[in-house]
Structure 1
Amino acid sequence: MASSSSSSSLTGHSKYKVFLSFRGEDTRNGFTSHLAAALHRKQIQFFIDDEELEKGDEISPALFIAVETSDISVIILSKDYASSKWCLNELVNILDCKKMNGKIVIPVFYQVDPSDVRKQRRSFGEAFVHHENNFPDKVQKWRDALTEASNLSGYDSTESRIKKRLQLMKVLIVLDDVHDEFTELKSLARRLQFSGRSRIIITSRDKGVLDKCGVNNMYEVKGLKYNKALELFCRKAFRETNCSHDLLELSEEVVRHADGNPLALEVLANNNGKLMKLISEPNIYNVLKISYDELNLEEKKTFLDIACFFTGEDIDFVRRIRDDPSSLDTFVDKSLITIFYNELQMHDLLQEM
């Protein structure tokens, strides 16, 4: 199994609410990443295997600890899950913990038929043709584990199941922070029928993503006005609409620094009690760096030039003196810069990053 990183450091004393078991190549950048993001938003401690961990036939001691100290294990059974001996060994360990310690195990059948998992058919059967030749002493244990997991109460996310539930319904779907072509969404959308009054709202830092998704209308989300920004910060930081007088001046400074960015305000507010350190909070920059990190090396150099020398300049002037004026359109599409009354502008937080 391969994946991203743990939501907290892994030690012998760690305790997680949820352990995620999945095949990285299948779901790392789709279902699993969205599930992990949802758990993080709900402040649920979860473990997700670090892709830098050494791969091998056996589970590392660190993973044993993570499984044993998690209350719930979510097994995302996808098309190529059984092709990974790492995943299968992990599954055996999860089910052993269920038997010995009463741990909760929840299978998610991600675009696979539960009966194919139970009977090892299709991609699961193909995987075992390979395993029979290479790991004959482990095959039966792996088969038994898949059969047991498939008989547990879980969730079926196959397209047919979604189709039955959503077909002809009037729905509102919000897809937040989409940052790739979202191929799975387009494939699914072609197969589903919604009521004509349904709406799908997609938010993205990259206008190119919205073009590829074939949106009907595109809107630029404006930053919060000062009063609303101050109210949001106070609600998140102090659980009140207004903050006390002694914190008002510092709160106003934070709000001015965030410049209407709701995400920045929430990250700052979540560090209530550390107001003197808020303005240098690194988590904000980690989020804002997402679009920057997607640039190639030359684009990054150009962006740094703009941040240092051209913020506030006339956009036509900047285009004339740049060797690669088309790169400016890339920065606009990725919401790294904005053009307001022909003036090149950049969020203060991005400029300081």
Structure 2
Amino acid sequence: MALPSLSSFTCDWTYDVFLNFRGKDTRNNFTGNLYNSLQNQRGIQTFMDDEEIQKGEEITPTLLQAIEESRIFIAIFSPNYASSTFCLTELVTILECSMSQGRLFSPVFYDVDPSQIRYLTGTYAEAFKKHEERFGDDKHKMQKWRDALHQAANMSGWHFKPGYELEYKFIEKIVKAVSVKINRIPLHVAKNPVGLESQILEVISLLGLDSNEKVNMVGIYGIGGIGKSTTARAVHNLIADQFEGVCFLDDLRKREINHDLARLQEALLSDILGEKDIKVGDVYRGMSIIKRRLQRKKVLLILDNVDKGKQLQAFVGGDDWYGSGSKIIVTTRDKHLLASNGIVKVYEVKQLKNEKALELFSWHAFKNKKNYPGHLDIAKRAVSYCQGLPLALESPSKDIHEILKVSYDDLEEDEKGIFLDIACFFNSFEIGYVKEILYLHGFHAEDGIQELTDKSLMKIDTNGCVRMHDLIQDMGREIVRQESTLEPERRSRLWFSDDMHCSCFERK
């Protein structure tokens, strides 16, 4: 699967619609009229290749670029479509792009039955008989064409039979549907979206876009500032066009404080159904309404920054609440919350590798992808300190500490004690030794360490040693320092030699 292009998740499209069609069949009638309605009447940027482009059999670089820079693909299957090897090759390329990068593909069956395309009967059988004579030795190419037609014929689209419906009204339906899709406002991803491509690809793979059999839930977890929400927003922009309804509920932890869950349920229903002034009364009634009204809709729902199970239950009480093919993404700092709510497909957002971290830092510090030679040493030191945490490369350290401290504030008192001990004394120590010391100090070490791990506050590396991100360690030590900024001896923990010397001296 190819990496998504930058334009895909920042929604910087050149074309809203790309038309795939056989020129001799429909250029001067249906496809020409559809293009006119989209491009000239509605201002929807539409790519319709000219006759010169279709003279060869291979996809030209210009055409390939147009495919890569298009948001929606519409293939017009006409009676003699399959006789064009150019159309078939273009269809293969379009479907590969659609599946790998989450683009919407919609077929139009113009005076041809989908079953004829699916099973290669009638004119499609005749066309492939001729292709066999010409390309019989290239079985791989022939099979790719067959697979592409079969795949396209199984997709939801529009079916037109001349004489049964007025063509201009049929075109109006297509244009209206396209307008709804492209008028959906994309989410802001990041000013400088560096290092997102591979992470997006992992999440899309877990979502299983090619399966419409059931509701699929995926959890994205990691420490604060690592890019969970950014990744989710980028995935949203890539795949939103494939769903009947879309809702992104951002920062549920914060929004629940200011708005009760019932109001957020109303926002969900309003976004997906397109209705205003929906009232649910209370959370339990809202749960019932969501299930009743959305259980047949294919939706994309993203629940961002979830920190309580009740938030999940309010929006996804069961996998029968939404229609087949629905995808639900949950971002959280707490891996255990995902597991305890039955979300088994999870992705941990990774820290940026040094090269990407340096690139991101350069964008923010120097407004350029490349840093200046005189500042390279400073840039490398900053990147080393931030250890691949994107937000730390973009924001002041005070903001970072406040963001990271949210996870600490959620801990129980026993867990807070364990966290502070590790931050002050035991980072990089062997886990068995750390547990032993913590037990001696009266802590429930096993459970506490598991909780810290689930909340992405620490890890156990392959050598069995505790690993805490430097910024998280600094945040923990700052919590202790704030216990008494001027008198170290009053703090609960001392780890800096000068503070310990001062403390001992004062006590004498």
Higher relative CO (Cα under 8 Å, sequence separation at least 6) belongs to: 2
TM-score normalised according to structure 1 size: 0.49
The structure with the largest alpha-carbon Rg is 2
